[in-house]
Homo-oligomer: A and B are copies of this chain.
Amino acid sequence: MKLQAVPTNPGMEDWIAERAQRVDACLQQMLPVEQVEPAQLHAAMRWASVGAGKRVRACMVYAAGSACLAGTADASLQRALDQAACAVELVHAYSLIHDDLPCMDDDSMRRGKPATHVEFGEAMALLAGDAMQPLAFEWLSEMPISPALVVQSVHTLAYAIGSQGMAGGQAVDLLSTGQVLDEVSLAQMHAKKTGSLLAACAQLGAIIVGAGSAQRESLRSYSRAIGLAFQVVDDVLDVTVGSEQLGKTAGKDAAAQKATYVSLMGVDGATAYARELYQQACDAIVIFGRRGDYLRGLADFIVQRAY
């Protein structure tokens, strides 16, 4: 999906690739190894979280941290950002495991390989997800920053993925299958299901580097717009791109009669809406000046991404 009106940021793809590699190396190092019992559980956790994914959530942590920090991050701040970046990717990966289970979306393919429950069985996949949630909080609790900021980080992530956030959005999605959602309900569902974790990523980056309330409010507006854009683009890609390129089963939403931005607006309407949301996101971060370049580049990447 190419949106010609959107300017490209030449260094951004390299930055995203470098961040993705960094997060992957950190996850490799921080996740329990398969040589430690229970080996199969640890193998399932690694299967679901290492070596794949666009790492958009991790990049959001780094980009927000970079935007809110006047100088450069010292070793402690860098370490804290790495741990938060790994924590949000771990949470995202757990949500994909549980989402793919037979009692949920029943999807057998994820990130271009068999879903965790296909590879390890349903029970082990369930437990892997269950073990990844607390590990994310363990990593946050080990960040080398002031305890008060750690507590804020824990609260932010916990709220974002609970019944008023990601898990709540999943429940609304589940209950609305087969119903015709209007645009307002669809936006509310996605704000919880996808948007709340993305917004938490931006807040985590800001909290870690000690951002002020004006910066955090700007990031809230930015992530509200970019979170929704992310979902609108997902819906467009779901009908315009094949399963192999997506790395997951394409066309599932249409098959399940789920309301999507494409079913509401058509491909062209949804594409135009994504461009509008992109502009809103960029407008929200003007206060950061050049320090907001990574946030802007991430917005570009989200609306223009090719898998």
For A148, the chain B residues whose CB sits under 8 A away are 147
Q: In the complex the two chains form, what is the Cα distance from A159 to B139 in whole Å? A: 10
Known pairs A147-B146, A147-B148, A158-B138; A103 contacts B130 (CB<8 A): no
Q: Find the B residue at minimum CB distance from A149.
A: B147
Stretch at the interface among A32-40, A76-84, A236-244, A264-272: A32-40
The reply to whether B133 and A38 contact each other, CB–CB distance below 8 Å, is no
Majority secondary structure of chain A interface residues (helix, strand, loop or mixed): helix
Among B42, B124, B151, the residue within 8 A (CB) of A150 is: B151
CB distance from A213 to the nearest CB of B (A): 19
Q: Which residues of B lie under 8 Å from residue A129 when comparing CB positions?
A: 130
- Kindly list chain B residues whose C-beta atoms are within 8 Å of the C-beta of A161: 134
- Which B residues are in CB contact (< 8 Å) with A218? none
Minimal beta-carbon separation of A163 from chain B (angstroms): 4
Contacting residues, chain B, for A32 (C-beta < 8 A): 163-164
The answer to whether A226 has its CB under 8 Å from any CB of chain B is no
Decide: A162 and B103 in contact? CB cutoff 8 A. no
Complex contacts, A101 vs chain B, CB 8 Å: 103, 126
* Size band of the interface chain A makes with B: 35 or more
A210 within 8 A of partner (CB)? no
A130 to B175, CA, bound (A): 16
Q: Render A158-184 as a binary contact track against B, CB cut-off 8 A, 1 for contact.
A: 110111100110111011000000000
B103 with A168: CB separation less than 8 A: no
Complex: A131 Cα to B32 Cα, angstroms: 24
Q: Is the CB of A158 within 8 A of B171?
A: no
Does A287 sit within 8 A of B, measured CB to CB? Answer: no
Cα-based distance from A163 to B101 in the complex (angstroms): 20
Question: Residue A135 at the B interface, CB < 8 A?
Answer: yes
Name the B residues within 8 Å of A133 (CB-CB): 130, 133-134
Separation of A122 and B137 alpha carbons in the complex (Å): 26
Check: A190 CB closer than 8 A to any chain B CB. no
The residue in chain B whose Cβ has the minimal distance to the Cβ of A91 is B134
With the chains together, A167 CA to B38 CA distance in Å? Answer: 10
Is A225 located at the chain interface by the 8 A CB criterion? no
Q: In the complex, A122 Cα to B105 Cα: how many Å?
A: 12
Least CB separation from A139: chain B residue = B158
Does A154 have its Cβ within 8 Å of any Cβ on chain B? yes
Distance in Å from the Cβ of A9 to the closest Cβ of chain B? 34
- Kindly provide the distance from the CB of A4 to the nearest chain B CB, expressed in whole angstroms: 39
The complex places the Cα of A126 from the Cα of B129 at a distance, in Å, of: 11
Expressed in whole angstroms, the minimum distance between the Cβ of A175 and any Cβ of chain B is: 6
Q: Quick one: closest B residue to A32, CB to CB?
A: B163
Q: A38-B168, A130-B133 are in contact. List 13 more A-B contacts (CB 8 A).
A: A45-B163, A98-B127, A101-B103, A103-B121, A103-B126, A127-B171, A127-B174, A131-B167, A131-B168, A138-B155, A142-B155, A147-B150, A154-B154
3 closest A-B pairs by CB: A147-B147, A131-B167, A103-B122
